[in-house]
Amino acid sequence: MTRVLVVDDDANTRGLVRTLLEREGHAVVEASDGRTALRVMHQERLDLVLLDVAMPGLDGFAVLERIRDVSEVPVLMLTAHSRELDKVRGLRAGADDYVGKPFGRQELLARLHALLRRTDRSSGEEDEPAAYVDTLLTVDFRQKEVRLAGERIELTPQEHRLLEAFVRHPGQLLSHEQLADLAWGAERAATREQVRLYVGYLRRKLGFPARKGGPLETVRGFGFGFRYRPPT
């Protein structure tokens, strides 16, 4: 059963959305503010988030940015703001779609189901390799699992995206800009400092914090590379 998190400070809106989604066979989890939503994100397996923009405390944009630090779950923004700049801001921060308030029930359901179908298609692609494997590292692209010398290591979603960018381009030098595009997406505009910071995180997780001897190589003035160790 699809699990949807509904984040809105208005109880009437949450109740209406819950009724609509439960009639369609979805399970609904509610959060009345941004901090509660982020706690739920860490506790529940979710398939989609409906996120209100205008909330006290952490607004929808701030919550969205924190969600994108830890998850690629589809996010549909609910907003009474019709300004184009607000929509562009949300999309650049990682929102997948917008629906305005007051919303039509059929439009909301249609947009939600379209996002779920898109997610199902992307997760079911069969033309890409299922995993990267060398003598040191195994990266399962579909299960989002990483093993180092046979032992599972825990990465954040952003660390995993960065590692995927490296292992999909073994032996190639990738600039800060290329890594930002591959691992964050052009619309999220990661800085050079963010890229360097996350490369450092990966080095520590892979057991080579001192830069030497590990799979991640720094080439000053050019960027970073990944050393491929072919299986014997």
Q: Where are the domains of the chain?
A: 3-123, 131-226
Q: What is the CATH number of domain 131-226?
A: 1.10.10.10
The pTM for the full model equals 0.56
- What CA–CA distance (Å, rounded) separates 10 from 140? 41
Strands (DSSP E) found in the chain: 3-7, 27-31, 48-52, 75-79, 97-100, 131-133, 137-140, 145-148, 151-153, 173-174, 216-219, 223-226
Residue 30 CA, chain-centre distance (Å), reads 20
Query: What is the pLDDT, as a whole number, of residue 51?
Result: 95
Give the sheet arrangement for strand 137-140, strand by strand.
131-133, 137-140, 145-148, 151-153
Cα separation, 158 vs 70, in Å, equals: 7
Is the bond leading into 215 cis (omega within 30 degrees of zero)? no
Task: Look at residue 45 in the predicted model and tell me its pLDDT.
Answer: 84
- The 3-state DSSP class for residue 175 equals coil
Q: Is 2 helix (H, G, I), strand (E, B) or coil?
A: coil
Structure tokens at 123: 């997760």
Write down the pLDDT at residue 109. Answer: 92
Cα–Cα dist 115/59, whole Å = 22
Predicted confidence at residue 125, as pLDDT, reads 46
Structure tokens at 159: 């660390």
Mean pLDDT per 10-residue interval, the chain, length 232 residues:
92 94 93 93 89 91 87 87 73 85 89 83 54 86 85 89 90 88 75 91 81 77 81 54
CATH classification for the domain delimited by 3-123, as one of 3.30.70.3270, 3.40.449.10, 3.30.360.10, 3.40.50.2300: 3.40.50.2300
For residues 21 and 28, is the Cβ–Cβ distance under 8 A?
yes
Residue 60 to residue 90: CA distance in whole angstroms: 9
Number of H helices, E strands in the chain: 8, 12
List strands edge to edge, sheet with 3-7: 27-31, 3-7, 48-52, 75-79, 97-100
